[in-house]
Amino acid sequence: MLHDDRLFPANTATRVIARRLYDEVRHLPIISPHGHTDPRWFAENQPFADPAQLFVTPDHYVFRMLYSQGVALEDLGVPRADGAPVETDPRKVWRLFAQHYHLFAGTPTRLWLDHAFETLFGLEGRLGAENADRYYQVIADALPRPEFRPRALFERFNIEVLATTESPLDDLRWHRMIRDSGWGGRVVTTYRPDSVVDPHFPGFRDNVARLGAIANEDATTWAGYLAAHRKRRAFFKEHGATATDHGHPSAATADLTPAAAEALFARVLAGDASDADAELFRAQMLTEMAAMSFDDGLVMQIHPGSFRNHNPLVHRQFGRDKGADIPTSTDYVHALKPLLDRFGNERALTIILFTLDETAYSRELAPLAGHYPALRLGPPWWFFDSVAGMRRFRDLATETAGFANTVGFNDDTRAFPSIPARHDVARRVDCAALAELVATHQLDEDEAQELAHDLAYRLAKSAYRL
Compute and round to an integer the Cα radius of gyration of the chain.
22
- CA distance readout (Å), 436 to 216, 290, 391, 443, 444: 57, 38, 11, 9, 11
CA 207 to chain CA mean position, Å:
23
Give the model's pLDDT for residue 273. Answer: 86
Give the model's pLDDT for residue 381. Answer: 64
Q: Do 173 and 64 share a structural domain?
A: no
Phi-psi region of 7 (alpha: psi -120 to 50; beta: other; left: phi over 0): left
Give the model's pLDDT for residue 228. Answer: 98
Q: Do 261 and 135 share a structural domain?
A: no
Q: Do 123 and 87 share a structural domain?
A: yes
Q: Do 157 and 129 share a structural domain?
A: no
Q: Do 327 and 199 share a structural domain?
A: yes
Report the domain count for the chain. Answer: 2
Domain termination site, one of 125, 146, 167: 146
Residue 176: CB atoms within 10 Å: 14
Q: Do 92 and 42 share a structural domain?
A: no
Q: Is residue 188 part of a domain?
A: yes
CATH number, domain of 17, equals 3.20.20.140
Q: Do 413 and 335 share a structural domain?
A: yes
Q: Which helix (H) or strand (E) holds 15?
A: helix 12-25
Domain termination site, one of 131, 146, 161: 146
Q: Indicate the length of the chain as a whole number.
A: 466
Give me the residues paired with residue 161 across strands: 31
Phi, psi values for residue 306, rounded to 5°: -115, 130
Q: Is residue 242 part of a domain?
A: yes
Q: Is residue 198 part of a domain?
A: yes
- CA distance readout (Å), 236 to 32, 168, 171, 242, 379: 18, 8, 9, 8, 25
SS percent in the chain: helix, strand, coil, step 5: 55, 5, 40
Domain with 238 in it = 12-46+147-463
Alpha helices, H only, 183-255 = 194-197, 204-215, 222-238
Q: Is residue 3 part of a domain?
A: no
State pLDDT tens for residues 169-206: 999 999 999 999 999 999 999 999 999 999 999 999 99
Report the C-alpha gap between 77 and 57 in whole angstroms. Answer: 6
| Amino acid at site 106 | G
Q: Do 103 and 191 share a structural domain?
A: no
pLDDT tens per residue across all 466 residues of the chain: 899 999 999 999 999 999 999 999 999 999 999 888 999 999 999 999 999 999 999 888 899 999 999 999 999 999 999 999 999 999 999 999 999 999 999 998 899 999 999 999 999 999 999 999 999 999 999 999 999 999 999 999 999 999 999 999 999 999 999 999 999 999 999 999 999 999 999 999 999 999 999 999 999 999 999 999 999 999 999 999 999 999 999 999 999 999 999 999 999 999 888 999 999 999 999 999 999 999 999 999 999 988 888 999 999 999 988 888 888 899 999 999 999 999 999 999 999 999 988 899 999 999 999 999 999 999 876 556 688 889 999 999 999 999 999 999 988 887 889 899 999 999 999 999 999 999 999 999 999 999 999 999 999 999 999 9
Burial letters 48-83, b for 16+ CB under 10 A, else e: bebbbbbbbbbbbbbbbbbbeeebebebbbbeeeee
Give the model's pLDDT for residue 183. Answer: 97
- CA distance readout (Å), 414 to 4, 227, 239, 322: 27, 31, 21, 12
Q: Do 250 and 131 share a structural domain?
A: no
Q: Is residue 384 part of a domain?
A: yes
Query: Strand, coil or helix: what is 70?
Result: coil
Pick the closest to residue 464 from 333, 297, 335 (CA basis).
297
Domain termination site, one of 101, 128, 146: 146
Give the model's pLDDT for residue 327. Answer: 87
- CA distance readout (Å), 412 to 160, 361, 396: 16, 19, 21
Q: Is residue 4 part of a domain?
A: no
Q: Do 226 and 101 share a structural domain?
A: no
